[in-house]
Amino acid sequence: MKNRIITISREFGSGGRTVGKRTAEQLGIPCYDRELIQKIAGKSGFAEGYIKSLDETAPGGFLASAFSNRTFGQTNEDYLWNIQRKVILELAEQGPCVIVGRCADFILRDQADCLTVFIHADLAFRAQRIVQVYGEREDSPEQRIRDKDKRRAAYHRFYTDMKWGYAKNDQISLDSGLLGIDACVEVLKMLY
């Protein structure tokens, strides 16, 4: 019997990270989010800021690479993907946990007793949230969300070949805007 893991994919501003953290706290298990980036940084030698930025820019990076250094060997993105994959598989071996983002749903899909979750919400809810919670600047948070959505979808699609946003990618998808963050946490605790 493998460890029980919850993976959380989420739209930017949906509160998916908060759902993951609260669920983990209430279940008394660790939640890996920024810690994941620290671990990948430690193993790869790249700076945390650079790794974090790849969540947004990898596919662009890939397209650029396709016409430059890709033919001469592994890109930074591919190198980091392999380390990320290894780190996530190791965490899943260590014990029950919640893992936010980083395509963990795809990486752990056949590896563990895994509950895969997608958190989404409409644009208005997310725009309000990134201004209030993250302190994002208020001029056009909607445009910032659309950009992040596109980049995250492209990144996920490139490495997993899954269509971002499709219900069938995950065992459960929840609208945190209409259901509320606390209700999402309660549902995940019940299914754990």
Residues that bind a second copy (CB under 8 A): 118, 120, 122, 165-175, 178-179, 183, 186-187, 190-191
Q: How far apart are CA 159 and CA 178, in angstroms?
A: 30
Q: Which is nearer to a second copy, 77 or 105 (CB)?
A: 105
Pairing label, strands 4-10, 97-100: parallel
Least Å distance, CB 172 to a second copy, is: 6
Nearest Cα residue to 92 out of 18, 5, 29? 5
Rg (C-alpha) for the chain, rounded Å, is 16
Least Å distance, CB 113 to a second copy, is: 11
Least Å distance, CB 122 to a second copy, is: 8
Q: Which is nearer to a second copy, 102 or 120 (CB)?
A: 120
Asked if residue 180 lies in contact with residue 121, where contact means CB atoms within 8 angstroms, the answer is no
Least Å distance, CB 163 to a second copy, is: 9
Q: How far apart are CA 174 and CA 165, in angstroms?
A: 11
Q: Which is nearer to a second copy, 51 or 104 (CB)?
A: 104
